[in-house]
Amino acid sequence: MTTRITIRKPDDWHLHVRDGAMLKAVMPFTARQFGRAILMPNLVPPVVTTKDAIAYRERVMAALPAGSTFKPLMTCYLTDETDPDDVEHGFKEGVFTAVKLYPAHATTYSAAGVTDHRKIMPVLERMEKIGMPFLMHGEDVDPEVDIFDREAMFIERYLSKWTRQFPALRFTLEHLSSKEGADFVRSTAPQVGGTITPYHLVLTRTDWLGWGLKPYMYCMPVIKTAKDRAALRKAATSGEACYFLGTDSAPHPVAKKLSVNGIPGVFNAPVAIETYAKVFEEEGALDKLEDFASVNGPRHYRLSVNETTITLEKSPWTPPQEIKVEGPDEKALIYRGGETIEWKVVSS
Ligand code: NCD
Ligand code: ZN
């Protein structure tokens, strides 16, 4: 039995670190185990221009522990009004790594997102031309569409058309949650890649809703069936280049999670690589963890892989249930907080 594993340092290709006191409280957890992370722009207000991203990057750098070599990769929040010239400028200046689509009202802090897909065509054309990646919250929020079908319907109505319309544009379907999503990525690779969260690999909707409502398992896209989870586990552990790590770690103040109108998002950064290691071990695929966590992502984004390494050991430990956050945010619930975590990062 393998009890120790060393891999190239992983990167997180989908992460929320927020701002202010929450940013300061959560940033060290990611910086501890990841070399780089694509930072989501759904702040309030969102990161919509190159100027916004430069300012946000400075706040992120200021929140890093002393001596950290972690590198934040910034994204542009796409709106109906996004200016293709500013997107190109931000990309060429090395500020923006990618553009992120939130369909309006699809998820947390997406109210400023895209309301009419026709309006974003000039931005996609420009991104295709300059070789800039396009990240998508791939859900169709038409009220006629059942919440469990949102991902499949987004693919059918939008993404399957865009991949033909923009053959040179590189897409990432974020936080894959369904068999349809995993299959679509495989069938369109390498044009389309997909990130997979630790919790979509572990949970089913029965875990979330079957024995009491577990608010810390509520996320968008929502957790689906055991069949979907099996497809995602197979995809992640296959080593195929189109699937890579994206935690979607999304901290929220406890009061916003435990509320009559609870907010979606799972804060998993404190146990991220440890949880992926558990899944890969269960699937007999620890030898594929490095591809998924550290190699496939950089290849998709045409970046070099990290040269340093991280070592994990089978050594049980228990994270706290929540972390303290200064000011009005007070505390944030940790995914798997209070549980026994099998793997531990022993050097990074
Ligand atoms: C994310 C958040 O809280 O910002 N929430 C979530 O449920 N995943 C937004 C997102 O990625 O959808
Ligand atoms: Zn997210």
Question: Which phi and psi (to 5°) does residue 343 adopt?
Answer: -100, 150
Q: For 210-233, write each residue's pLDDT tens digit.
A: 999 999 999 999 999 999 999 999
**Nearest protein Cα to ligand 1, atom 1:** 265
How far is Cα 39 from Cα 96, in angstroms, rounded to an integer?
A: 10
Q: Which of 11, 12, 248, 329 is catalytic?
A: 248
Strands (E), 62-130: 71-77, 96-101
Whole-structure pTM value: 0.98
**CB-CB contact of 8 with 290 (8 Å):** yes
Q: Is the pLDDT reported for residue 54 higher than 90?
A: yes
Q: Is the pLDDT reported for residue 2 higher than 90?
A: no
Tell me, in angstroms, the distance from the centre of ligand 2 to residue 333's CA: 16
Provide the residue ranges of all domains of the chain, joining segments of one domain with +.
4-347
Tell me, in angstroms, the distance from the centre of ligand 2 to residue 67's CA: 27
Mean of the pLDDT values across residues 44-68? 98
Q: For 226-266, write each residue's pLDDT tens digit.
A: 999 999 999 999 999 999 999 999 999 999 999 999 999 99
Output the CA angle 186-220-102, nearest 5 degrees.
Answer: 80
Q: Which two tokens stand for residue 64?
A: 């890093």
Eight-state DSSP code of residue 89 = H
Instruction: Decide whether any atom of ligand 1 lies within 6 Å of the 42 Cβ.
Output: yes
Q: Is the pLDDT reported for residue 329 higher than 80?
A: no
The number of beta carbons lying within 10 Å of the beta carbon of residue 320 is: 11
What is the residue-averaged pLDDT of the chain?
97
Q: Which atom belonging to ligand 1 lies closest to the Cα atom of 250?
A: 3
What pLDDT score was predicted for residue 29?
Answer: 98
Mean of the pLDDT values across residues 105-130? 95
What pLDDT score was predicted for residue 252?
Answer: 96
- Topology given in CATH for the domain delimited by 4-347: TIM Barrel (3.20.20)
Instruction: Decide whether any atom of ligand 1 lies within 6 Å of the 108 Cβ.
Output: yes
